[in-house]
């Protein structure tokens, strides 16, 4: 649906307009998203004053990923879980910070599932660098009523109903798609509302930036190395990209989405758990893949599989990820096949 840049469209207005496109819609998804937006506002307020509250630094815990959990990871996870478990429209949820599926509160089960990365870019929280939240919503497969199942969560990204992220940066933005284009909303903290600021985002076909942690160069295969060399302008006639790597996937992805770019986290040989890269399919790669395809870009693994086609086998399954401007992802695939 082409969005005209009418002044002052709030995210609630946009969600209602999208609901009206489906006569059979019950309003459940709109209500779910309204609660998700509240969670985003709460986390944004906390992130923006993290330096003042006792909310920085490590929590002293390690999560299922084997990572040191930051206090803001815990806060964001608790906030999202609390809003979602009682919103009445979720039957089960998956979180990066929860080893197992989390059911809705008894009596509050609904017909959707949500998978989320409550705080993406945790290593950046106490150095005042932008971080984010990523979310992915599916329809439940199990019969309505009662708690959802793990199978409700293990669906391919192509079946997502809504995919989005919140980036807590110089401003707080929500960017999401429900299959009718990608729209960005910026929080006006003085009124506590998200207003449409980026209607119908389309990712430029050509990358201006490339985002990859080049410290892992020694652990990549030759095809990835050759492609990064190409991005640096080694091929005659190829305009070199600028390197930009923030270390928060959401922030690197958002810049590349708006300005044109390619983000890569390939598999590497550093350690056993990096043989499929670091990023998680359910709540990092799949939602961003839906967004980038809706914006005219591509998202694949480093052996050429389309991210949205992958059927998850485990909740925290990792996948290698190459995502961004269509032309550069296509060139990446040629390099990865050993073609030049
Ligand atoms: P998270 O903070 O949710 O665990 O995700 C961190 C991810 C991603 O945000 C970022 O791009 C990547 O890890 C950085 O990994 P490296 O430090 O290995 O580059
Ligand atoms: Mn983490
Ligand atoms: Mn993450
Ligand atoms: Mn995280």
Residue 102: name the closest of 161, 38, 148, 35 by CA.
Answer: 148
The yes-or-no verdict on residue 271 having pLDDT over 90 is no
Instruction: For residues 266-283, give the mean pLDDT.
Output: 88
- Determine whether the shortest distance from the Cβ of 254 to ligand 1 is under 6 A: no
Return the pLDDT at 80: 97
Return the pLDDT at 23: 87
The ligand 1 atom nearest the CA atom of 117:
3
- CA 317 from chain center: how many Å? 15
- Determine whether the shortest distance from the Cβ of 247 to ligand 1 is under 6 A: yes
pLDDT tens by residue, 178-194:
999 999 999 999 999 99
Phi/psi for 31 (5° steps) reads -65, -40
Strand pairing report for 58-62 and 68-70: antiparallel
- Tell me: is residue 67 an annotated ligand-binding position: no
The ipTM, to two decimals, is: 0.97
Return the pLDDT at 176: 98
**Domain 209-335: CATH class, spelled out:** alpha beta
Residue 90: name the closest of 100, 105, 104, 80 by CA.
Answer: 104
- CA 128 from chain center: how many Å? 20
The yes-or-no verdict on residue 236 having pLDDT over 80 is no
Looking only at Cα atoms, what is the longest distance across the chain?
A: 63
Q: Of all protein residues, whose CA lies closest to atom 12 belonging to ligand 1?
A: 247
pLDDT tens by residue, 70-118:
789 999 999 999 999 999 999 999 999 999 999 999 999 999 999 999 9
- Determine whether the shortest distance from the Cβ of 251 to ligand 1 is under 6 A: no
**Domain 9-199: CATH class, spelled out:** alpha beta
| Ranges of H-type helices in 49-155 | 71-85, 150-153
Return the pLDDT at 51: 66
Return the pLDDT at 299: 98
At residue 198's C-alpha, the angle toward residues 231 and 163, to 5°, is: 75
The yes-or-no verdict on residue 53 having pLDDT over 80 is no
Mutation pick for ligand 1 pocket among 169, 211, 249 (CB with most ligand atoms within 8 Å)? 249
Q: What is the spatial distance between Cα 233 and Cα 278, in angstroms, rounded to a whole number?
A: 27
Query: Considering the chain, what percentage of its residues have pLDDT values greater than 70?
Result: 96
- Tell me: is residue 190 an annotated ligand-binding position: no
Answer for the pair 265, 324: CB distance below 8 angstroms, yes or no: no
Ranges of each domain in the chain: 9-199, 209-335
**Ligand 2 centroid – CA 132 distance (Å):** 11
Q: What is the spatial distance between Cα 62 and Cα 110, in angstroms, rounded to a whole number?
A: 31
Q: Of all protein residues, whose CA lies closest to atom 1 belonging to ligand 1?
A: 120
Helices 286-294, 249-259: crossing angle, 10 deg rounding: 10
Answer for the pair 328, 206: CB distance below 8 angstroms, yes or no: yes
Instruction: For residues 252-259, give the mean pLDDT.
Output: 98
Q: 54 versus 62: which is more confidently predicted?
A: 62
Answer for the pair 173, 165: CB distance below 8 angstroms, yes or no: no
Mutation pick for ligand 1 pocket among 278, 283, 320, 322 (CB with most ligand atoms within 8 Å)? 278
pTM for the structure as a whole: 0.95
């Amino acid at each position: 649906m082409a969005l005209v840049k009418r002044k002052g469209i709030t995210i609630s207005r946009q969600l209602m307009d999208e609901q009206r496109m489906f006569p059979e819609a019950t309003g459940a998804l709109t209500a779910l998203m309204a609660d998700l937006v509240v969670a985003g506002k709460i986390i944004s307020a906390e992130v923006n004053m993290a330096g003042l509250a006792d909310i920085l630094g490590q929590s002293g815990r390690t999560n299922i990923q084997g990572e040191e959990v930051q206090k803001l990871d815990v806060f964001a996870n608790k906030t999202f879980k609390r809003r979602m478990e009682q919103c009445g429209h979720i039957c089960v949820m998956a979180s990066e910070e929860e080893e197992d599926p989390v059911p809705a509160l008894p009596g509050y089960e609904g017909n959707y599932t949500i998978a989320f990365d409550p705080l993406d870019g945790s290593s950046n929280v106490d150095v005042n660098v932008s971080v984010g939240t990523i979310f992915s919503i599916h329809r439940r497969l199990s019969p309505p009523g009662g708690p959802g199942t793990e199978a409700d969560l293990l669906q391919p990204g192509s079946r997502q109903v809504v995919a989005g992220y919140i980036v807590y940066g110089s401003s707080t933005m929500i960017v999401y798609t429900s299959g009718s284009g990608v729209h960005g909303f910026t929080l006006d903290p003085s009124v506590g509302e998200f207003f449409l600021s980026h209607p119908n985002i389309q990712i430029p076909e050509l990358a201006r930036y490339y985002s990859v942690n080049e410290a892992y160069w020694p652990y990549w295969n030759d095809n990835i190395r050759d492609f990064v060399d190409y991005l640096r302008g080694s091929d005659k006639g190829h305009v070199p990209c600028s390197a930009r790597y923030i270390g928060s996937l959401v922030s690197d992805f958002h810049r590349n989405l708006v300005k044109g770019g390619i983000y890569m986290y390939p598999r590497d040989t550093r350690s056993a758990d990096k043989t499929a890269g670091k990023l998680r399919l359910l709540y990092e790669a799949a939602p961003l893949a839906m967004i980038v395809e809706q914006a005219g870009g591509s998202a694949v693994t480093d052996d050429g599989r389309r991210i949205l086609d992958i059927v998850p086998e485990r909740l925290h399954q990792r996948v290698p990820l190459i995502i961004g401007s269509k032309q550069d992802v296509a060139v990446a695939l040629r390099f990865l096949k050993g073609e030049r």
